[in-house]
């Protein structure tokens, strides 16, 4: 089953207008130079830069995404941003349930699922994040934790067309530490099995499962050549044009 690889940058809370625009322009130029890339590209800047980045990406095959959204379309939710506001700005994707949101904002599987349903309804594709903590890993609970997160966070109605999963071990995010390739493949294969049970085999076989957590140019090939790894969600290394593009190129894009 051929799944087009997704190379996604999660800029997190980084970037002001000048450097965010420059980064987006740099990526746009490099992706244009690839001609017809073998992969799909996505950048997810902070809310404040979405409009400027959209403009900077004009004409390039790079999708725009946000890093979170509310489940309501509008209303009394001070500080929140709705899925419709994101599509209005030209977003095609939204990241949901990132471990930093689960930890910093107490987001539960139920809430992530509710947000995902609303995002899909608004026409957004979702990148739903899962992953175990170091404590859970040391206790041998990795597959169990990830399975529960999939069952709780992914809507029943999700399809391969509107949903991407990102497996990001919490302890590997921003630390320079990574699991072994075998560990990553084992988790991805297990996640695909759970997806098959929940959404049916056809959807599970087509759904992309990204690896995230300290992905860099030097380890991209190792992870992205694994059979069940369909791309990467990249934090730190997505903030430099050369690193982001080197990851893509080393992954066969």
The vertex-154 CA angle with 57 and 244, nearest 5°, equals 30
Residues 136-175, mask of contacts with ligand PGA (x by CB under 6 A): --------------------------------x----xx-
Looking at beta carbons, which residue is closest to ligand PGA?
Answer: 235
The vertex-126 CA angle with 83 and 2, nearest 5°, equals 150
Tell me the sheet residues that pair with 63.
42
Report, in this order, helix, strand and coil percent for the chain, each rounded to 5: 45, 15, 40
CB of 132 to ligand PGA, least distance (A): 14
Please identify which of the residues 70, 98, 120, 188 carries the catalytic annotation. Answer: 98
Distances (CA, A) of 228 to 117, 188, 193, 223, 253: 25, 6, 11, 10, 17
- 154 DSSP 8-state letter: S
Residues 208-247, mask of contacts with ligand PGA (x by CB under 6 A): ----xxxx-----------------xxxxx----------
CB of 168 to ligand PGA, least distance (A): 6
Q: Does 23 bind ligand PGA (CB under 6 A)?
A: no
Site residues (CB under 6 A) for ligand PGA?
A: 10, 168, 173-174, 212-215, 233-237
Residues annotated as part of the active site: 98, 168
């Amino acid at each position: 089953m051929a799944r087009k690889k997704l190379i996604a940058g999660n800029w997190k809370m980084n970037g002001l207008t000048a450097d965010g625009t420059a980064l987006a322009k740099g990526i746009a130029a490099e992706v244009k130079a690839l001609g017809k890339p073998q992969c799909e590209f996505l950048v997810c800047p902070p809310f404040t830069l979405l409009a400027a980045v959209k403009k900077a990406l004009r004409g390039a095959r790079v999708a725009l995404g946000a890093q979170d959204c509310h489940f309501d379309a509008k209303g009394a939710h001070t500080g929140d941003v709705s899925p419709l506001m994101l599509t209005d700005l030209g977003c095609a994707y939204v990241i949901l349930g990132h471990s930093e949101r689960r930890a910093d904002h107490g987001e539960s599987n139920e809430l992530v699922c509710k947000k995902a349903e609303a995002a899909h309804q608004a026409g957004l594709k979702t990148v739903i994040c899962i992953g175990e903590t170091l404590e859970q890993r040391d206790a041998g609970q990795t597959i169990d934790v990830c399975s529960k997160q999939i069952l709780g966070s992914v809507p029943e109605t999700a399809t391969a067309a509107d949903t991407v999963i990102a497996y990001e071990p919490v302890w590997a995010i921003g630390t320079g530490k990574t699991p072994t390739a075998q560990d990553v493949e084992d988790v991805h294969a297990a996640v695909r099995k759970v997806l098959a049970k929940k959404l049916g085999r056809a959807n599970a076989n087509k759904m992309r499962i990204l690896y995230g957590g300290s992905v860099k140019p030097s380890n991209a090939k190792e992870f992205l050549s694994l059979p069940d790894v369909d791309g990467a969600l990249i934090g730190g290394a997505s903030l430099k044009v050369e690193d982001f593009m080197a990851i893509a190129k080393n992954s066969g894009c």
